[in-house]
């Protein structure tokens, strides 16, 4: 894990949040290559679950919501973790993550009694006094509720037929007691969620369909099947709103942990918000002339955990040309840089001009192209390997006469001559 974190920082994927001030636990900043990787994961998800379907509606709800939303959903009263505090060093820990709930794992001091700690970040809205409880709001701990409270608006605006879904990618916030394991458990993170509304009797069919779609998506982004494990969550461990949940877990370096989940939420949320708001949220079926609350299937994926899984799955150590190397072996679909273009020698104007022309034409077709003329060819190859670039394209003197280039494969190091015209098809992800 340390090697992955080090390479991710050194090559511009992820930095510690507020690093020059000593950092802030549970926060990370995505550097240029990390942003590109994350956007690729989100774009592939959005295409599969939204653009390629006719029954999905994109959504982007506000992060701040009326506090009554979180009261109705049960988050104000029940979104809590068990916490204990050391009487000696005052460190706090999640009680359910400790091997010994009596002794502090840091200093050995006595731990106090277990307390419930609500993980929502509370804030104030507007020019209010400290005592003004009417101005309380929260940073949302999940994106789902923004879609549930807009269910009626979607019905009134688009008049969809069941089944249909709302899909959203957005930030969520949880005041984790003990953030850890790099991007796995953080206080600020991004989610990709769908609330898929179905007739109560049709939930099992929709559940299995979305289950298959999740696994197909994980394959799309290049995660190895052997690293993934489906887990049926038993009744006592499911969220209070769930009647069935399947988690997909991934083999991280620190153990097999949850990557994403699929939950059957019944009509819990619509029922809760209908009661809390006193607004009718029922669906009227024109065919059967029935009025009812739809049930909901929810695929939920954490973008940051996906980024971490992809980094871990892609991290590779091998030997090439008698030297050891460590690099990210990304699939072409998610690689932040699809190809890099070099002039063989940067002190030869004719090579540089030709290389720039090839680079600029390729970038019109495949935007994720990098220009690199820093150092000798060997150093450029090594640098591009580390960041996971699948192909390196070198413009040499033969290019000037026959319009062919040398293209090198990241994984094998093999090189071949290809025509410039064939490059877009070869490097597109």
Question: pLDDT tens digit string along 21-46?
Answer: 999 999 999 999 999 999 999 999 99
Contact 334, 310 (CB under 8 A): yes
* Distance in angstroms (rounded) separating the CA atoms of residues 131 and 143: 28
Around Cβ 318, how many Cβ atoms within 10 Å?
Answer: 11
Q: Which of 226, 249, 252 is nearest to 308 (CA)?
A: 252
Q: In the prediction, which pLDDT does 131 show?
A: 62
Q: What average pLDDT is seen over the chain? A: 94
Q: In the prediction, which pLDDT does 208 show?
A: 98
Task: Give every residue of the chain whose pLDDT is below 50, as ranges.
Answer: none
Give residue for tokens 């939920």.
300
Q: In the prediction, which pLDDT does 46 show?
A: 98
* Distance in angstroms (rounded) separating the CA atoms of residues 350 and 330: 33
Domains of the chain: 2-79+119-312 (3.30.930.10), 337-427 (3.40.50.800)
The structure tokens listed for 243 are 């009647």
3 state DSSP class of 206: helix
Q: In the prediction, which pLDDT does 342 show?
A: 95
**Separation of first and last alpha carbons in the chain:** 27
């Amino acid at each position: 894990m340390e090697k992955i974190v080090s390479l991710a920082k050194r090559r511009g994927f992820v930095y510690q949040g507020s690093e020059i001030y000593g950092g802030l636990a549970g926060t990370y900043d995505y550097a240029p290559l990390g942003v590109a990787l994350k956007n690729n994961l989100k774009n592939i998800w959005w295409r599969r679950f939204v653009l390629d379907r006719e029954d999905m509606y994109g959504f982007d709800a506000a992060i701040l919501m009326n506090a009554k939303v979180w009261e109705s959903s049960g988050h104000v009263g029940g979104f809590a973790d068990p916490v204990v505090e050391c009487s000696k060093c005052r460190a706090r820990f999640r009680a359910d993550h400790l091997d010994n709930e009596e002794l502090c794992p840091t200093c050995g001091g006595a731990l106090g009694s277990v307390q419930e700690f609500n993980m929502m970040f509370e804030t104030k809205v507007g020019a209010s006094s400290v005592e003004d409880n009417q101005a309380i709001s929260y940073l949302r701990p999940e994106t789902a509720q923004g879609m549930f409270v807009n269910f009626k608006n979607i019905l009134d605006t688009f008049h969809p037929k069941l089944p249909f879904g709302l899909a959203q990618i957005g930030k969520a916030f949880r005041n984790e007691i003990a953030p850890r394991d790099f991007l796995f458990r953080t206080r600020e993170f991004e989610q990709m969620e769908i609330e898929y509304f179905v007739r109560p009797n049709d939930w099992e069919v929709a559940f299995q369909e979305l289950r298959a779609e999740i696994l197909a998506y994980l394959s799309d982004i290049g995660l190895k099947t052997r690293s993934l494990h489906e887990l049926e969550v038993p009744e006592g461990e499911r969220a209070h709103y769930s009647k069935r949940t399947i988690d997909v877990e991934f083999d991280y370096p620190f153990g097999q942990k949850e990557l994403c989940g699929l939950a059957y939420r019944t009509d819990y949320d619509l029922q809760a918000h209908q009661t809390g708001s006193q607004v009718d949220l029922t669906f009227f079926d024109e065919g059967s002339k029935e009025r009812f609350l739809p049930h909901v299937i929810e695929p939920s994926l954490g973008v940051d955990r996906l980024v971490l899984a992809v980094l871990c799955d892609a991290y590779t150590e091998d030997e090439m040309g008698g030297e050891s190397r460590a690099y990210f072996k990304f699939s072409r679909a998610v690689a932040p840089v699809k190809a890099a273009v070099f002039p063989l020698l940067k002190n030869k104007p004719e090579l540089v001009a030709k290389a720039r022309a090839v680079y600029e034409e390729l970038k019109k077709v495949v935007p994720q192209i990098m220009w690199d003329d820093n150092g000798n060819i060997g150093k450029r190859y090594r640098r591009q390997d580390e960041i996971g670039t699948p192909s390196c394209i070198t413009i040499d003197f033969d290019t000037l006469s026959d319009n062919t280039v040398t293209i090198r494969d990241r994984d094998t190091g093999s090189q071949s001559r290809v025509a410039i015209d064939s490059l877009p098809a070869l490097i597109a992800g």
